[in-house]
Amino acid sequence: MRIRVCLAALAVACVLGAAATALGANGLEPRLTKALTGTSLSLGKTAALAIDMSNGETIYAHNSDVPLAPASNEKIPVSFAALTRLGTGYRFHTEVYGVGRRAGSAWDGDLVLKGFGDPTLASADIDRLAATIRGRGIRSVTGRILGDETFYDSRRAVAGWKSTFLLRETPPLSALIVDRAQGWPALSPPLLAARALRDALGRRGVVVAGRPGLGVAPAAATTLASDTSDPLAGVVKHMNQESDNFYAEMLLKQLPAAAGQAGTSAGGGKIVIATMRAAGIPVAGVRIVDGSGLSSLDRLTAAALVGVLRAGATDPSIARAFVDSLAVSGNSGTLGDRLPALRGVVKGKTGTTNLACTLSGLIGAKIVFAVLQNGNPVPSWAARGAQDRFVTILATTTPIG
């Protein structure tokens, strides 16, 4: 047994040695390392990995197991977990419940607008809910319109965020939020939502006696109107191509809430890591604190990112939605004005905070890569230049068909 183990170890060492010799022989490794250098960039705070999509063989690795702040590349594992756990066709929903009873054309009691985490909920959706209620023949409500956000916890922000991130980088988080909480009081999305429904009902001639407020729909309440979102595949596509922080945070809370658990960011982070682990993706050093990558506490490795990208791109149940959610070089999303010489060749996810600048994705159908660069602060203009050089070398010196 000991002899077989030694021979196996020797064989692995020979393969790795041959790969390293090949990299050195064609000059690719030093060229890629040089590409990652730049003004005020630290190779010690840089991690990079590129592998062959088909067989998983390493093309290049530098600090690939070192946990670093990922910025918006955090959205990649969140997308993978959401599509895997919920399914590409999953839809968020929002309900209007009646608490009381019908009395002719009046609803004698309150109406409760309950959110189930739809980040896309807008005024047009509220108008349709109001139209449904009006269509039921209800002309007045003797009580109030109450907003119910209890599908999630009531935390508006996440640990590790700067105080300026709330409202500037993302709306406040809530299971019931309309138009991204535009209006006052912005920090009470369910109250804004209840007010929006009252106003929509008023425009349709439905008179509501009481003022909007907050409440909880009892289990025995009557469903009067429902709204559903577009499929999750479209939600994830918008989130990744436009790097929408709010969508990412809502998706993270949706993961535990949809499973019947408390709708918290921490609970979502545990599910993301569990999903990665189940797919055989390395999770050592990975820390998922929020969904967007805004938190200074988030950590990902290049190996984890590459593992997620490869798993998502090869899983037939989610591959199309996962890959289509990525921005396209010289064409769309946050890569629309980057890598114009490789227009349409690279599909990826960018990320930038003052602590991190990142880029990961697919080069053609052949290469999966990730680059994470950290600093305090990190010079994002120099980091993007380094990432673009890195990707260009890979694309022009390695078959990518």
Q: Does 156 lie in the same domain as 33?
A: no
**Any domain includes 9:** no
- CA 19: distance to chain centroid? 35
Asked if residue 14 is part of any domain, the answer here is: no
Residues 257 and 326 in one domain: yes
Asked if 304 contacts 283 with a C-beta cutoff of 8 angstroms, the reply is yes
Whole-angstrom Cα distance, residue 35 to residue 56?
23
- Percentage above 70 pLDDT, the chain: 93
3 belongs to a structural domain: no
Model confidence at 26: pLDDT above 70: no
Peptide bond into 171 cis (omega under 30): no
Q: Domain for residue 381, yes or no?
A: yes
Establish if 56 belongs to a structural domain: yes
381 shares a domain with 278: yes
pLDDT higher than 50, residue 22: no
Q: For the residues 34-43, what does the mean pLDDT come to? A: 95
Residue 10 counted as domain residue: no
Tokens of 367: 């290469």
Asked whether residue 381 falls in the same domain as residue 243, the answer is yes
Looking at the structure, do residues 148 and 282 belong to the same domain, yes or no? no
The CA dihedral of 182, 167, 160, 251, to the nearest 10 degrees, is 30
**Pair (103, 149) in one structural domain:** yes
**Same structural domain, 103 and 202:** yes
Residues 225, 260: one domain?
A: no
Directed axis angle between helix 380-397 and helix 28-35, to 10°? Answer: 160
Last residue of a domain, one of 201, 229, 257: 229
One domain for residues 378 and 257: yes
pLDDT of residue 401: 58
The band of 67, judged by pLDDT with boundaries at 50, 70 and 90, is: very high
What pLDDT score does 19 carry? 38
For the stretch 167-218, pLDDT in tens is 999 999 999 999 999 998 889 999 999 999 999 999 999 999 999 999 999 9
Q: Given 183, 208, 229, which residue is the final one in a domain?
A: 229
Here the CATH number for the domain that contains residue 243 is: 3.40.710.10
The average confidence (pLDDT) of the chain is: 93
What CATH number did the domain enclosing 156 receive?
3.50.80.20
Domain count for the chain, please give it.
2
pLDDT tens-place string over residues 122-154: 999 999 999 999 999 999 999 999 999 999 999
> Does residue 124 form part of some domain?
yes
CB < 8 Å & 24+ apart, contacts of 29-32: 29/60, 31/393, 31/397, 32/60, 32/62, 32/390, 32/393, 32/394
Residues 61 and 74 in one domain: yes
The domain in which residue 200 lies consists of 93-229
Predicted pLDDT of residue 304: 98
| Whether residue 174 is found in the same domain as residue 250 | no
Q: Is the pLDDT of residue 340 over 60?
A: yes
Which of 229, 256, 284 is where one domain is finished? 229
Tell whether 325 and 289 lie within a shared domain.
yes
Q: Is residue 109 part of a domain?
A: yes
Q: Which pLDDT score, from 0 to 100, does residue 274 have?
A: 98
